[in-house]
Structure 1
Amino acid sequence: MTFSDFLSMQIAEGVTIGDVLTVDFLASILGNVVSAVAILFLGFLVGRWASHRIRKLGEKHHKLDTTLFNFLGSISRYAILAFTVIFVLNRFGLETTSLVAAMGAAGLAIGLALQGTLSNVAAGVMIIIFRPIKVGDFVEIADEMGTVKDISLNFTELASLGNTQIIIPNSEVWGNTIENYSAYPTRRAEWTFGVSYDSDLKRAEQVILDTIMADERSMPDPEPFIQVNNLGDSSVDFLVRVWVDSEAYFTYQADMKRRVKEALDEAGIEIPFPYRTLVMAGGEAPELRQAAE
């Protein structure tokens, strides 16, 4: 029985206010207070238990994104606490409908004042739910490249190649093109190697392919690709594509450039570079013509 119900019933029976303040009334109030404290304590425990269980579920299965389950755990805890508070207020006979309406109006005013912050929060929710990136991914976002260290409701933290901290608001993350280099387990490395027009193209192609495929990181399946791709001003260019594990991509690509260059040098195949031929006028001094040649 709420306080207002108890008071109305006593007055209807002709009992004065002084008579109402009896031991029974005090006992009723004390009982309501104890019940409210117990309900709040129980709601706190249930909310904490639910949040902990959801977080543990994400940690237990490695294929699941822990960021998403941390977010869901927090949401479940606060939702349980909110329902607990409403239940306690009803217990004391307070009208919660007007309270919820007032809280909604206050929330709208705060939302209008914090549009930028709330847009980051909304974008953070979308990132956590749809998971275009996750902690540990190597990405490029808004012209910034680095490893994802943390995804919060307001911002995403990256560690750059130089190990500096990069903070990007979530609205920029969600509103920009995201290039995730860690999304797939394999990547296709690509190079362009140029040889001189005097070179034996078939032999040059075989030297390049043998050198790259001799590395244990090179994947024979899917089949590697090598073809003449361009006839440049001073070189015949080979386009080469080979699949490799994503984790080894950057070092692998750099290593192959050096090894192919050394292999072509050892095979006596020239790697040309741009040069100019100067034609001197007939009246120029012989020493200038000789220097130009």
Structure 2
Amino acid sequence: MEDAVREFNAWAPRLMDMGINLLVALLILIAGWWISSLLGGWVRRAATRSSKIDRTIVPMFYSTVVWAVRIFTVIAVLARFGVQTASLIAVLGAAGLAVGLALQGTLQNIAAGIMLLMLRPIRAGEYVALSSGADGTVEEVGLFLTRLVQGDGIHLTLPNSTVWNATITNYSRNKTRRLDIPVPVRYGDDLEQVLAKLTEIVNGREDALKDPAPQVKVFEYKENGVIVNVRVWAEASKYWDLRWGLYQQIRTSLEAAGFQPPIPLREIQNPRTGAAPAAPALGAKDSGKNVSDDAAT
């Protein structure tokens, strides 16, 4: 009995120290995790409220702050138990090198994400299209992935390396966009009246910018008519409203003014007499075939 008491008295200080170390380490771990979340939330709120900080970098900046604090917390906990942190860091560095070689694609995504945030060819809220075929509004550029929301509401997630290696068409970076609408006019219609009518339509649109001034010009000659190009500028946010509105308004206004869209015509010659037979009904391919057959006979 005396030996057990003597052995317990010998182990009691060690057990007490171990218990205190466990308690302190647990408190450090809890405090570190709480502080990391607190700092991360503060960084996110500060970045969101500031108009000078691009919200594209907020998710990556948040993750960096949070995990930097947590890594230092874990190192402090290990140091509490007497672990040599210098040798641990060296081991982690070697392990990181081995993992990096095994995960080259993942590290490539991280490097691509850093380049996307540094050069910022895309930003949150911008509508972009990639040469890979993906398009949508940028939701977030993270450490590994870029998230897009397509026009039909589908959420699209892409590796950062895919975005970085693609040709990016950014439709939202400039404040204004140009709209070109080809309007066909029949031969024989009064071209000057058509130009005047189109100019009146464009000038009457409030969402069409006055500077640069709209242009209505003859652009090209086709087999069935003259192509008039209507060129206007609009704010990027109003581009589609202007496009849809002009396409509908131009067609209805020209028809109301008596201008009909050009219809393709085809003249069939009699190879023997050189005279043209009676014109077939427009738009009927079978009629044209019958006339050519009759002419051949």
TM-score, with normalisation over the residues of structure 2?
0.77
Q: Tell me which amino acid in the other structure corresponds to 2:128.
A: V
Equivalent position of 1:219 in the other structure: 209
Q: Tell me which amino acid in the other structure corresponds to 1:103.
A: L
Note if contact 2:60-2:141 (Cα within 8 Å) is conserved in structure 1: no
Sequence identity of aligned pairs in percent?
33
Kindly tell me the number of residue pairs found equivalent between the two proteins: 273
Q: Tell me which amino acid in the other structure corresponds to 1:53.
A: W
Q: Deviations over 1:186-224 (max 9, x none)?
A: 222111222234333332211111112212211212211
Q: Deviations over 1:50-72 (max 9, x none)?
A: 21110111222356333422321
What's the secondary structure of 1:280's corresponding residue? Answer: coil
1:82 aligned to which of 71, 76, 88: 71
Q: Deviations over 1:23-55 (max 9, x none)?
A: 766666555555444443443333222211101
Q: Quote the Cα distance in structure 2 between the aligned partners of 1:274 and 1:234.
A: 5
Equivalent position of 1:190 in the other structure: 180
Q: Say whether 1:160 aligns with 2:160.
A: no
Note if contact 1:68-1:129 (Cα within 8 Å) is conserved in structure 2: no
Q: Quote the Cα distance in structure 1 between the aligned partners of 2:113 and 2:71.
A: 22
1:104 aligned to which of 93, 102, 106: 93
Structure 1 pair 43–143 and aligned structure 2 pair: CA distance change class (3 A):
same
2:115 aligned to which of 121, 126, 133: 126
Q: Say whether 1:59 aligns with 2:48.
A: yes
What's the secondary structure of 1:183's corresponding residue? Answer: coil
1:290 aligned to which of 253, 275, 278: 278
Q: Tell me which amino acid in the other structure corresponds to 1:184.
A: N
Q: Quote the Cα distance in structure 2 between the aligned partners of 1:25 and 1:281.
A: 115
Structure 1 pair 26–145 and aligned structure 2 pair: CA distance change class (3 A):
closer
Q: Quote the Cα distance in structure 2 between the aligned partners of 1:158 and 1:74.
A: 19
Q: Quote the Cα distance in structure 1 between the aligned partners of 2:134 and 2:91.
A: 43
TM-score, with normalisation over the residues of structure 1?
0.78
Structure 1 pair 82–180 and aligned structure 2 pair: CA distance change class (3 A):
same
Structure 1 pair 162–55 and aligned structure 2 pair: CA distance change class (3 A):
closer
Q: Quote the Cα distance in structure 1 between the aligned partners of 2:129 and 2:240.
A: 15
1:239 aligned to which of 198, 221, 229: 229
Note if contact 2:147-2:157 (Cα within 8 Å) is conserved in structure 1: yes
Unaligned runs of 5+ in 2: 1-6, 281-290, 292-297
What's the secondary structure of 1:119's corresponding residue? Answer: helix
Q: Tell me which amino acid in the other structure corresponds to 1:265.
A: E
Equivalent position of 2:283 in the other structure: none
Q: Quote the Cα distance in structure 1 between the aligned partners of 2:152 and 2:37.
A: 39
Structure 1 pair 92–157 and aligned structure 2 pair: CA distance change class (3 A):
closer
How much has 1:91 moved relative to structure 2? 4.3
Equivalent residues in 2 for 1:10-21, closer than 5 Å: 21=10
Q: Which runs of 4+ in 1 moved over 4 A?
A: 20-35
How much has 1:83 moved relative to structure 2? 2.1
Equivalent position of 1:200 in the other structure: 190
Equivalent position of 1:272 in the other structure: 262
Unaligned runs of 5+ in 1: 1-17
Equivalent residues in 2 for 1:130-145, closer than 5 Å: 130-141=119-130, 142-145=132-135
Equivalent position of 1:40 in the other structure: 29
Q: Quote the Cα distance in structure 2 between the aligned partners of 1:280 and 1:255.
A: 46
Note if contact 1:57-1:69 (Cα within 8 Å) is conserved in structure 2: no
